[in-house]
Structure 1
Amino acid sequence: MKVVILAGGLGTRLSEETSVRPKPMVEVGGKPILWHIMRHYAHFGHKEFIVCCGYKGEVIKEYFLNYRSISSDFSIDLSSGQIDFHSPSEEDWKVTLVDTGADSMTGGRVRRVRDIVGNEPFCLTYGDGLSNVPVDQLVAFHKAQGKWATVTAVLQPGRFGALGMSEDGAKVTGFREKGMHDGGHINGGFYVCQPEVFDLIEGDSTIWERGPMERLVELNQLTAFRHDDFWQCMDTLRDKTVLEEMWAQPDCPWRQVYAGKPALAETIAFPKVATAG
């Protein structure tokens, strides 16, 4: 499937980084978070990407225009401009970069790439969230449900330590370190969609998470793939620090996937089904 990545937002809560580049280009381990997301999908065989650019989209375009020359050894004949690369690119991806408008909302950006996606199912996700979600199981789950869209439901990461209190509030009965899950499932992106969803998007001002997804619920056409393992967005500088610390560890959860070490047990065929509507 083609993979559509939303990469056009302002990223105001990460202004320390996004004043000079779009949030998907903020680096984790020396690579843009966008690269990590694409590397994850490519591991599962999805290597054709459509990147919906907006705010500072030229930074993303320049990155991919210069990608091979920066990541490879090459010889250049300065008189003719002939460039000979000494080795093939490690990534055999096809990347389409589309300016979907500076002010378009998430739904509007999806609608603008309709002709490029074509009349076929596609993957859709945000350009600021990392996970070890097993994309092969996600796609198989979507096909088995026969609905127009599937969203990956993830556990919200806990941001603070939690106290257990006695009934009178005078005694601490337990303490849970921050970083544990808060218990509720949230929208983690990593969608799989049928082309019918395009007809639910009215225009550039449409927010995907409101009108179209609410309509999918009403039509009983939205299912949820439960992923109770690793997921982390990068909304703030603190989130970036957390991801950097994870990347530095040998058991980095999302790197383990494309290093050939799946984080989920092979015995898990399909998560519990949660159908909206």
Structure 2
Amino acid sequence: MKAMILAGGFGTRLAEESDTRPKPMVEIGGRPILWHIMKLYEQHDITDFIICLGYKADYIKKFFLDYAATLSDFTVQVGTGAVEVHKQRSENWNVTLIDTGLHSMTGGRIKRALSYVEPGETFCMTYGDGLSDVDIGASIAYHKSHGKLCTTTAVTPPGRFGVLEINAQDEITDFREKIASDQYRINGGFFVLEPGVGEYIEGDDTIWEQGPMRQLAADRQMRAFNHDGFWQPMDTLRDKRTLEALWDSGTPPWRQP
């Protein structure tokens, strides 16, 4: 099974980092967040990737072109250019890199990349800027059980503000962090899709999260896979620092032991 990752946006809300590199290449623990997302799929035996590029596409292409060499021990015969590899530490991934347009919207990127998906081939899709410990394998099994075109992982967003407990006399009696029951679930990415979703996408200007998802829902072709575990997008510098702190703890929740 393939995993499609949208990695072409401008990342304007993280301009401190994305001015010089695409947002999916912003590093957590010395590795791009894109690499962490791919490792999550690898944990569920998915190692065939389609990366949808746009903004600073060459940056991501160069990373993968140089990746194996960077992680290898080798000897170079400078005169001839011959290379003898002694030890290679890179993952055994198959990565297809597609320029899906500088200004394409999320739906447009999916539409362009569908030519690399076989007819009738179920595939995964997610964004290149969020991490989770979602059970990808279970989401795929759930998707296949209901037979619809689209499954999205439904998550509770991390609380950025505490909750005040106020009594009838307007006295604050407690202060606590938000919990799942305080808010609605949102689209957390980590989709499982059928190629038929392409019929809901008009072209490059289509935003996946608007027209296509709304129409899929109206046609009863979309189901939610509820995830109550860890989920964290990297929308801001604060989010990046949160993920860095989790990585530095030695037990980041998105990485299996």
Say which SS state the counterpart of residue 213 (structure 1) adopts: helix
Q: How far apart are the structure 1 equivalents of 2:15 and 2:88? A: 36
Q: What is the aligned partner in structure 2 of residue 273 from structure 1? A: none
Q: Cα distance, 1:90 vs. partner?
A: 3.4
Given that 2:132 and 2:232 are in contact with CA atoms closer than 8 Å, whether structure 1 keeps it comes out as yes
In the alignment, structure 1 residue 121 sits paired with structure 2 residue 122 = yes
Q: What is the aligned partner in structure 2 of residue 221 from structure 1? A: 221
Say which SS state the counterpart of residue 185 (structure 2) adopts: strand
- 1:87-98 superposed matches below 5 A: 87-98=87-98
Q: Cα distance, 1:241 vs. partner?
A: 0.3
Say which SS state the counterpart of residue 87 (structure 2) adopts: coil
Aligned-CA RMSD value: 1.2
After superposition, what is the alpha-carbon deviation per residue over 1:27-84, rounded to whole angstroms, capped at 9, x for unaligned? Answer: 0000000000000101111100000000111110110011011111111111111112
Q: What is the aligned partner in structure 2 of residue 244 from structure 1? A: 244
Q: % of aligned pairs identical?
A: 53
Say which SS state the counterpart of residue 144 (structure 1) adopts: helix
Deviant stretches of 4+, over 6 Å:
none
Given that 2:73 and 2:88 are in contact with CA atoms closer than 8 Å, whether structure 1 keeps it comes out as no
- Single out whichever of 31-40 and 114-123 deviates more from structure 2: 114-123
Structure 2 stretches lacking a partner, 5+ long = none
Say which SS state the counterpart of residue 87 (structure 1) adopts: strand
Q: What is the aligned partner in structure 2 of residue 131 from structure 1? A: 132
How high is the TM-score relative to the length of structure 2? 0.96
Which letter does structure 2 place at the counterpart of 1:67? Y
Given that 2:72 and 2:90 are in contact with CA atoms closer than 8 Å, whether structure 1 keeps it comes out as no
Which letter does structure 2 place at the counterpart of 1:91? E
- 1:166-245 superposed matches below 5 A: 166-169=167-170, 171-177=171-177, 181=180, 182-245=182-245
Which letter does structure 2 place at the counterpart of 1:79? G
Q: Cα distance, 1:190 vs. partner?
A: 0.2
Say which SS state the counterpart of residue 229 (structure 2) adopts: coil
Q: How far apart are the structure 1 equivalents of 2:18 and 2:237? A: 10
Given that 2:67 and 2:90 are in contact with CA atoms closer than 8 Å, whether structure 1 keeps it comes out as no
Structure 1 stretches lacking a partner, 5+ long = 260-277
Q: How far apart are the structure 1 equivalents of 2:162 and 2:209? A: 29
Say which SS state the counterpart of residue 198 (structure 2) adopts: helix
In the alignment, structure 1 residue 84 sits paired with structure 2 residue 84 = yes
After superposition, what is the alpha-carbon deviation per residue over 1:119-169, rounded to whole angstroms, capped at 9, x for unaligned? Answer: 111100000010000111010010011111100001110001221112232
Q: How far apart are the structure 1 equivalents of 2:84 and 2:221? A: 50
Say which SS state the counterpart of residue 183 (structure 2) adopts: strand
How high is the TM-score relative to the length of structure 1? 0.89
Q: How far apart are the structure 2 equivalents of 1:19 and 1:251? A: 30
State the number of aligned residues. Answer: 255
Q: What is the aligned partner in structure 1 of residue 164 from structure 2? A: 163
Say which SS state the counterpart of residue 254 (structure 2) adopts: helix
Q: How far apart are the structure 1 equivalents of 2:2 and 2:92? A: 14
After superposition, what is the alpha-carbon deviation per residue over 1:197-254, rounded to whole angstroms, capped at 9, x for unaligned? Answer: 0111110000001111111111101000000000000000000000000111133211
Given that 2:4 and 2:52 are in contact with CA atoms closer than 8 Å, whether structure 1 keeps it comes out as yes
